[in-house]
Every structure is written in structure tokens, then in C-alpha cells.
Amino acid sequence: MAAAMRSAVLNSTGVMGFLMLSCCAMMMMMMMMKGSDAQTTYTTFAESQYSNQFVIAWEPSNVWVVNDVLELAVTEASGTAVQSVNMYLFGYFRVGLKLVPNDSAGVLTAFYLSSGGNAHDEFDFEFLGNSSGQPYVLQTNIFAAGVGGREQRINLWFDPRADFHTYTVIWNPQSVSMYVDDVMIRVFQNHENEGQAYPNSQGVGVYSSSFEASSWVTQGGKVPIDYSQAPFVSSYSNYGIDSCVFEATSPTACSNPPAGTWWNAQEYQSVPSYRVTQLQWVKTNYMIYNYCTDTARYPTPPFECTAPLF
């Protein structure tokens, strides 16, 4: 689903349209939709700390900054997205995210890295909106050279609406690992020697988006979005990127991380025993779907499902 969203984002004609919005117009819109609060500081996106790292890719009227927290809203008119100014190859990518409160059925909130194009590389955190009282489901997926279909779903072991939690990708020439707070939830390792594609040559952009996806996102599409609960607002803070900026004119400049680069240390190229324990804990207690065990889709499990961790 993130791939479809990415296409809409990159084809948008309004990438920099937010620059045309006046501060007063934005302030009025935010106050009307959020309500007045004398203790709350509202600013435009252009005035925030994120403006030199990200641009609004889709629907600027649904992007707010409140007390220096970036908020993305879904309304009956539209969802929205922001994307990084730069592209990156390998590194550390982190976001603090507090999800849509109350009933968010039909709303998809995503934080992901993607290169674009048919043979794209992509790493997804996709949060599937839930009906009130139901667990919040996190779906992850990994694409390499355009091949995805690697969905895993877990029930989060905390309420992601109550406070900010950290979602991280660490990516180097040997491994892609994904974390919730400091818990490793999945890993995809480099098996190019065995003929499996691995993401190691395409720069990726960093994206955050939120939009209506009632056709599939909540209980397989059984629960549609309820716009009487709108706006559906997800909150972002504490972005962190430590990476090589990828330039298309010099595509190999980032291919070999410098010696001493922390996210390319052996601990992140392989899976230490304590991380294996974390992976097993998540799988045993919280995983509700794993493409590796879906024999209807994959009568023979994909290679990475049976390859031993290194």
C-alpha cells in the first residue's frame, strides 16, 4: 500500500504548494479544526524545525505543527504526506510517533523509506487503524529490487496512542533491521551470493503519510472509516537520520560506509543473541501474520524465511 501512496506523492503537482499559504490562513484553519487553546503554540510547517529536512508532498492544509510536534491529519477531503528533501543510502532512520487516538478504523499511518521506480527498495512501518478497544496492528514490509510481499503483522504490546514510541530502521550493506523502541522486530539480511536481491544501490527518501484505506486496512476492509470522528491526527517528533546523502550523479559514493561508522558495526551487520531472543519474543507473543508461514501464498517459503541468521 505504501508503494501506491508513494506514486501519488511523487506525482503530486503540489509538492511546494505550502509555500503559498499565508501564516494567518494556516493559523485560522488550524484553530478551526483543532480548537482554541491559549497554552498551545501553533506554527506553519515552513516555520518548524522540520522544514529544512522535509517538504509537504500532498495536501498542505492537513499538516500542522503544534508545540514543535509535526501533525498529519486525515479529513473527509484528503489525507496527507511529507517527504525528505534528501535521498539516502544506508544508515539510521528514526521517528517518534503517537498514533491517531480513539476510533481510527480505515486510517493508514505510515513511516517508510523508498527509492521509487518499478524495481524499488522499500522498508515500511504501516499502522493499521483500529476500532475502539481493539489492538493496534503494526504491519511491516520490505521490498528489494521491486519484490515485496513480505508482510508481517504484530499486535503492539502497548497503547501507541497514549504516548510517543520510537520506530527505527538500521540499514547497512549486510542487514536491514527494524525496531520498536529498542526491540528488534524483524531483520532482512544480504543473501546476494545465494541469488536473492538485496537493497544496496538505490537511494531512498524518507516518508510519513496518513490517509484513508478502508478497502483493506481494518479487519480486511470490514470496518470503514467514520468521518464523524475526523480529523484523524497522528503526531511525529524526534526524527533522527544518520546516513550518507545519496546523489544520483555519484551513485557509488555511499556504497562503502567509512570505517568506524556505528550503524555498520558488527552488531548491526549480524544478529546478536539478545536480538535473536527479542525476535523470538515478538514472534511468539505478538505476531498475528507472517508471510513466511502463509502456505497459500507461498507453497515454498521465500529464501529468507529458511536461511539461518548470521
Residue type, 10: L
Asked if residue 154 lies in contact with residue 288, where contact means CB atoms within 8 angstroms, the answer is yes
Q: Give me the count of residues in the chain.
A: 310
Phi, psi of 234 (to 5 degrees): -105, 145
Of 47, 71, 76, 126, the active-site residue reads: 126
Q: Which amino acid is at 124?
A: D
DSSP-derived 3-state class of residue 128: strand
Which strands make up the sheet holding 175-180, listed edge to edge? Answer: 42-43, 63-66, 69-74, 232-245, 88-98, 165-171, 175-180, 183-189
Q: How far apart are CA 117 and CA 107, in angstroms?
A: 25
Please, what's the largest Cα pairwise distance for the chain?
60
Give me the residue label for grid cell 528489494: 144
For residues 110, 115, 116, 118, the Cα torsion angle rounded to the nearest 10 degrees is -120
- Active-site annotation holds for 126: yes
Query: Active-site residue among 47, 59, 76, 122?
Result: 122
Secondary structure of 148-197 as H, E, C letters: CCCCEEEECCCCCCCCCEEEEEEECCCEEEEEECCEEEEEEECCHHHCCC
Q: Is 76 a catalytic residue?
A: no
Q: Where do the DSSP E strands lie in the chain? A: 42-43, 54-58, 63-66, 69-74, 80-84, 88-98, 107-114, 122-128, 137-143, 152-155, 165-171, 175-180, 183-189, 205-212, 232-245, 287-290
Q: Which residues contact 253 (CB under 8 A, 6 or more apart)?
A: 244, 246, 247
Q: What pairs with residue 58 in β-bridges? A: 81
In the chain, the amino acid numbered 112 is: Y
Query: Which residues are annotated as catalytic?
Result: 122, 126
